[in-house]
Amino acid sequence: MLKKNFLNILYVFFLGAISSYSLPPYNYFIINFFTFSLFFIFLFTQKKNNPNNKSFFKYGWFFGFGYFLCSLYWIAISLTFDESFKFLIPIAIVLFPAFLAIFYGLITYLFSVFYSRDVVSTFFIFSILFGSIEFIRGSILTGFPWNLIAFSFSESIYFIQILSVIGTYSFNLICISLFTVPAVFILRKTRKEIIVCFFFIIISVGFLVFGNLKYNQFNTTADIKNNFTIRAVSPNISLDRFYSKQDELKIIQELITLSSPEKKEPMIFLWPEGIIPDSYLRDMDIYKELFSNSFSSDDLIIMGLNSVKTKNNENLFFNSMAIFNNKLDLIHSYNKNNLVPFGEFTPFESVLSLIGLKTVTNDYQSFSKGENQKALLIKNDKIELKLLPLICYEIIYSNRLFKDKNFDYIINISEDGWFGNSIGPKQHFAHSIFRSIESGKYVIRSANNGISAIVNPIGIIEKKVEFGTIGYVDFKESKILKSTPYMNYGDKIFFILILLYIFLIFSFKKIIDE
């Protein structure tokens, strides 16, 4: 029994690990048709043959542990830059996937509770549980919706256009069903159960047809030339600046040189997150003359830097995005709303600081959370537009970003150097494609040590600075689309889809029983 139990655990761990290669940057989504179907068949037969088995939680946990261990190992790279964190690397490699695997353990535990001997009913139950728990994973505590199964299709542009209607979580639910449906064909008892397989084949074809129509419609929409250019700058400035005093003037001069101000037309320069960590927003005045001489009076500069304000005799620090004119007068600032646990804030800091735990990205205290997400109105004599600011990690969230729907473009600034030359920055960038399709807006991204790009409203990367290189991309023309259904209704669509799945359980059961 011990040997069989060990082999079962090894089997589901292996399935989860293999599934991780369906994600960016590999995108071998075909793998999931095998791994998810085999996982479902394993769970179904285990429950059928051992109805009193109480240990279903471990099957999901080991599947999830394999999946997250192989797809999120790169998070530990952020601990290599500071000697005081290096002892935590083995813990981080194991502990973080182990925590996320708990959600998958809950899926299989609940599967054993709601299991039905009817294959079709159990298939829909499995999909509902998986999709719902993934939604909870992306929402509970600070939420971590990284590496949803849906991201397997991040390069399948036609197929993912449906995001504009149903959003990421609804699409994720359908992807889980789609990957698991071969198991229904294998486990079927009657020919009628094949109807379920055809049903999801039709849905897949429908997604492709919809995507093709949307793609063609977008391409036939007229381009509108803006009276300004947004230039997203992509430097490769070392992370040493966070740990040793560096010549900030030299860094700024390097950024200005890379930005290549032309002084011919109004330009908005987008610089990455936290590019000058030792100067606060209030200290920027010392560079007034440099900026005034380098940029024209119609230019605007958007950059990431830290800010501090005093409240009740306590200094509060923020990871901020600031918008300046060429005289370094502050036009707008935004404080990051969704902070990275342990990266930017330490949960239960008063307790964990006693054992030496601190944030990775700064050496003083946790960043404070900014106000709710809202678009910023950018206006001068030549430029008027509304931008939705997202700093780094915030791009991974879905519906919570779109409470303020009245904006023109999404701007995303990031520092991806924390994850080295790993798959992390590529996974991070894939979220920009999903957000652009969901919102029907352009995403303009500037990343240090990462990928900077212009992603259009159907997820096509129009311009890109490749990972590991430096340069900039210019955004001059755009197409205007109507607000997407997902922007209007958000994740209400996900809950409607859950109800539809419940309805399908009874509908297909009735068809099969007849």
392-407 average pLDDT score? 86
Over range 220-238, report the average pLDDT: 93
Q: Is the pTM of this model over 0.85?
A: yes
Crossing angle of helices 89-114/56-71, nearest 10°? 140
C-alpha 298/C-alpha 278 separation (Å) is: 28
Q: Is the pLDDT of residue 398 over 90?
A: no
Contact 404, 424 (CB under 8 A): no
Q: What are phi and psi of 315, to 5 degrees?
A: -80, 125
Say which residue, 442 or 191, is predicted with more confidence.
442
CB 441 within 8 A of CB 408: yes
pLDDT exceeds 70 at position 364: no
The pairing of beta strand 452-455 with beta strand 461-465: antiparallel
Q: What sign does the CA torsion over 469, 472, 476, 480 have?
A: positive
Residue 354's pLDDT is: 44
Q: Is the pLDDT of residue 449 over 60?
A: yes
| Per-residue confidence band for 261, with pLDDT thresholds at 50, 70 and 90 | very high
C-alpha span between 360 and 86 (Å, rounded): 11
Tokens of 231: 């230039």
Preceding peptide of 182 cis, ω within 30°: no
Are residues 111 and 56 in contact, defined by beta-carbon separation less than 8 angstroms?
yes
| DSSP annotation of 368 | P
Q: State the Cα–Cα distance between residues 129 and 115, nearest whole angstrom.
A: 11
Strand 300-311, strand 267-270: pairing = parallel
Residues in CB range of 311: below 8 A, 6 or more apart: none
Query: Which pairing describes strands 384-391 and 442-448: parallel, antiparallel, or unpaired?
Result: unpaired
CA 361 – CA 417 distance, rounded (Å): 11
- Round to whole Å and give the CA distance between 134 and 145: 8
Average pLDDT, stretch 434-444? 96
Domains identified in the chain and CATH numbers: 2-219+490-513 (no CATH), 225-480 (3.60.110.10)
| Structure token digits, residue 174 | 């359908």
- In this model, does residue 239 exceed pLDDT 90? no
CA–CA distance, 287 with 301 (Å, rounded to integer): 13
CA 325/CA 344 separation, integer angstroms: 28
CA–CA gap between residue 53 and residue 55 (Å, rounded): 6
Average pLDDT across the chain, whole number: 90
> Which pLDDT does position 362 carry in this prediction?
58
Query: What's the confidence (pLDDT) of residue 457?
Result: 97
Helix intervals (H) in 337-441? 349-352, 424-439
**pLDDT value at 83 more than 80:** no
pLDDT of 198 > 50? The answer is yes
State how far the Cα of 123 lies from the Cα of 178, in Å rounded to an integer: 11
Residues 375 and 387 sit within 8 Å (Cβ to Cβ): yes
pLDDT of residue 13: 98
Quote the CA–CA distance of 79 and 360 in Å, as a whole number: 7
128-163: per-residue pLDDT in tens?
999 999 999 999 878 889 999 999 999 999 999 999
Rounded (to 5) percent helix, strand, coil in the chain? 55, 20, 30
43 vs 116: CA distance, rounded Å: 12
Token pair 């261990």: residue: 69
